[in-house]
Structure 1
Amino acid sequence: MRMPLDRRHVRLAGAAAAVLSLLLLARPLAVGGSGLALAMWIGAGAFVLWRWRRRPAAGEAPRMRCLERLRLSSGREVCLLEVEGRRLLLGCGEGGMRLLTRWPAPPPAGGAP
């Protein structure tokens, strides 16, 4: 049974291709005897892959975002989060986080009056 490719698989294949190409480029440098150049190529490749993995995929919206935070006192605040279309009000303090209430997401701004 074939599994459909999702963005993670495509990203993983791209990362593997990038590492392979860097190793192929670094091999002639290693044969020439420049270990420093080889280390620099591998370090540059690792940096590029790290930066590439940190950015979101094109068109991919974050599933969770913090809409507002209100500091109540030292070490206590209220946070309004949006998680997959639902809004959550959380109380955050020294004892941890607690869900205060939840709401459905508001309708889009361009809706009927």
Structure 2
Amino acid sequence: KTSSAILLVHTETGITVSMQDEKSQHKNRAKARRIMTTRLYDHFQKQQDAKLDSARKTMIGSGDRSQRIRTYNFPQNRCTDHRIGLTLYSLDRIMLGQLDELVEALQTHDKEQRLQNL
């Protein structure tokens, strides 16, 4: 009898491939390496997908009312941005596209946050 079986073990992930289909050890080794490459690719692809999914879920949020960004109150002619706590009583101008005041406040808040994170 010949010893032609191959057992490959990837030490980092613990993935194992056992091959004894062929009579030649060289053919078994080549086949096992191809299978190992495929399994490792799948393993790392799943890890990457899981990271992207978790990042996407944190960006999207749950959609609760507590996660609102802006409130438009037409009877009071008021627009409130809840991220920065800004309330503007010029909803009619905002609806016409005059967002300069709102954008400037958001940019100022963003700069302040970046400086605090340094």
Normalised TM-score (structure 1): 0.35
Larger radius of gyration: 2
Q: Which has the higher helix share?
A: 2
TM-score, length basis structure 2:
0.34
